[in-house]
């Protein structure tokens, strides 16, 4: 089955009104060069309206970098799924390792976090927003050979939470923490193996869902390594951090996704 590639640009806590305009100009000017690719941008939430205004009516989609598992109420600083709908978000990121580290600082263990991510996943699905669930092992877990355990734990928890079929409305992103922002991408073969692991786990529940779910790779993807990663059969695009802040680099990644 041929899955459409998706390239997602996570701006993290970067940008200003002025720099965002320049970045959006640069990407939109070249959007015709990656016609068969889904592309989505994830600005800091305060710039959501700016991005919505610029991307409305284009082929590009947008979303936020996190959301609350709750619908409304006394949750200072949080953003709910209905609010994302209010601003036309098609996607939302969740479970990013930078969020996990932050929460880990206040004492939650990774298993509890996985359950919270499953709640967020359910909250997004309920509003018709596509969750992009980030999953990845830390450098320590990598060295201890715990990759499979860490990855499959979250896959199992989200299947247990919302059922396997819900994954056909979702996206998974394998993001080894040791590759994020380090310039040290996973090899295409390593990423492919982990993606296969996830797809096989889903296939145990439902073959059709396993074949249709988009699984992205994230961690030091750049214009010059994107093609080799995206040409692997189970890598359906990328979640891009640093390189999404540079229009030409980001466009080169989108073009690489278009040409595999
Ligand atoms: P990076 O970040 O591309 O800067 O490594 C990836 C991510 O955090 O999603």
Predicted confidence (pLDDT) at residue 102 exceeds the cutoff of 80:
no
Q: What is the mean pLDDT of residues 209-224?
A: 97
Considering only CA atoms, give the Rg of the chain: 17
* Ligand 1 within 6 A of CB of 241: yes
- Report pLDDT digits (tens) over 31-70: 999 999 999 999 999 999 999 999 999 999 999 999 999 9
Name the residue among 1, 3, 10, 2 with its Cα closest to residue 253. Answer: 10
Residue 43 · residue 50 · CB < 8 Å: yes
Tokens of 93: 């990121």
Where on the phi/psi map is residue 3: left (φ > 0), alpha (ψ -120 to 50), or beta? beta
Give nearest CA residue, ligand 1 atom 7. 241
Catalytic residue list contains 175: yes
Predicted confidence (pLDDT) at residue 167 exceeds the cutoff of 80:
yes
Residue 90's Cβ-count burial label (10 Å; 0-12, 13-18, 19+) is middle
Give the ligand 1 atom nearest the CA of 219: 5
Catalytic residue list contains 98: no
CATH assignment, 6-259: 3.20.20.70
Give nearest CA residue, ligand 1 atom 3. 241
In whole angstroms, give the CA distance from residue 137 to residue 187.
Answer: 15
Tokens of 172: 């998974």
Percent with pLDDT over 70 in the chain: 97
Name the pLDDT band for 73 (thresholds 50, 70, 90).
very high
Tell me the CA–centroid distance for residue 65 and ligand 1, in Å.
12
Predicted confidence (pLDDT) at residue 255 exceeds the cutoff of 70:
yes
Q: What is the mean pLDDT of residues 135-157?
A: 94
Q: What is the mean pLDDT of residues 96-112?
A: 76
Give nearest CA residue, ligand 1 atom 1. 241
In whole angstroms, give the CA distance from residue 164 to residue 200.
Answer: 12
* Ligand 1 within 6 A of CB of 219: yes
In whole angstroms, give the CA distance from residue 54 to residue 41.
Answer: 11
Residue 215 · residue 1 · CB < 8 Å: no
Q: What is the mean pLDDT of residues 206-234?
A: 97
Q: What is the mean pLDDT of residues 11-29?
A: 98
Within 29-138, where are the H helices? 48-55, 81-86, 97-105, 110-126
Predicted confidence (pLDDT) at residue 147 exceeds the cutoff of 80:
yes
Give nearest CA residue, ligand 1 atom 2. 241
Give the ligand 1 atom nearest the CA of 222: 3
Tell me the CA–centroid distance for residue 158 and ligand 1, in Å.
23
Task: Supply the pLDDT for residue 2.
Answer: 78
Name the pLDDT band for 184 (thresholds 50, 70, 90).
confident
Rounded mean pLDDT of the chain?
Answer: 95
Identified catalytic residue from 137, 141, 175, 195? 175
Predicted confidence (pLDDT) at residue 30 exceeds the cutoff of 90:
yes
In whole angstroms, give the CA distance from residue 209 to residue 165.
Answer: 6
Predicted confidence (pLDDT) at residue 216 exceeds the cutoff of 80:
yes
Give nearest CA residue, ligand 1 atom 9. 241
Name the pLDDT band for 152 (thresholds 50, 70, 90).
very high
DSSP secondary structure string for all residues of 189-222: HHHHHHHHHHHHHHHHH-HHHHHH-EEEEESS--
- Outline where DSSP puts E strands in the chain: 6-10, 38-42, 61-64, 91-94, 130-135, 171-174, 214-218, 237-240
* Ligand 1 within 6 A of CB of 251: no
Predicted confidence (pLDDT) at residue 75 exceeds the cutoff of 90:
yes
């Amino acid at each position: 089955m041929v899955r459409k590639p998706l390239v997602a640009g996570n701006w993290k806590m970067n940008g200003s009104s002025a720099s965002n305009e320049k970045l959006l100009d640069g990407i939109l000017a070249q959007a015709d060069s990656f016609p068969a690719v889904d592309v989505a941008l994830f600005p800091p939430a305060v710039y959501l309206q700016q991005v919505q205004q610029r991307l409305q009516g284009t082929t590009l989609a947008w979303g936020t970098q996190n959301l609350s598992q709750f619908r409304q109420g006394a949750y200072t600083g949080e953003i709910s799924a209905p609010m994302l709908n209010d601003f036309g978000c098609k996607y939302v990121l969740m479970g990013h390792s930078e969020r996990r580290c932050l929460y880990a600082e206040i004492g939650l263990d990774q298993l509890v976090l996985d359950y919270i991510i499953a709640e967020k996943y359910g909250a997004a699905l309920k509003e018709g927003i596509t969750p992009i669930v980030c999953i990845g092992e830390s450098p320590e877990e990598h060295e201890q050979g715990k990759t499979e355990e860490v990855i499959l734990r979250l896959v199992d928890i989200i299947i247990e939470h919302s059922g396997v079929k819900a994954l056909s409305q979702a996206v998974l992103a394998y993001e080894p923490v040791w590759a994020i922002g380090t310039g040290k991408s996973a090899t295409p073969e390593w990423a492919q193996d982990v993606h296969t692991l996830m797809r096989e786990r889903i296939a145990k529940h439902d073959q059709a869902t396993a074949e249709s779910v988009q699984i992205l790779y994230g961690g030091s993807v750049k214009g010059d390594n994107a093609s080799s990663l995206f040409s692997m059969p189970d890598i359906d695009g990328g979640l891009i951090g640093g390189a999404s802040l540079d229009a030409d680099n980001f466009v080169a990644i989108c073009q690489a996704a278009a040409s595999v």
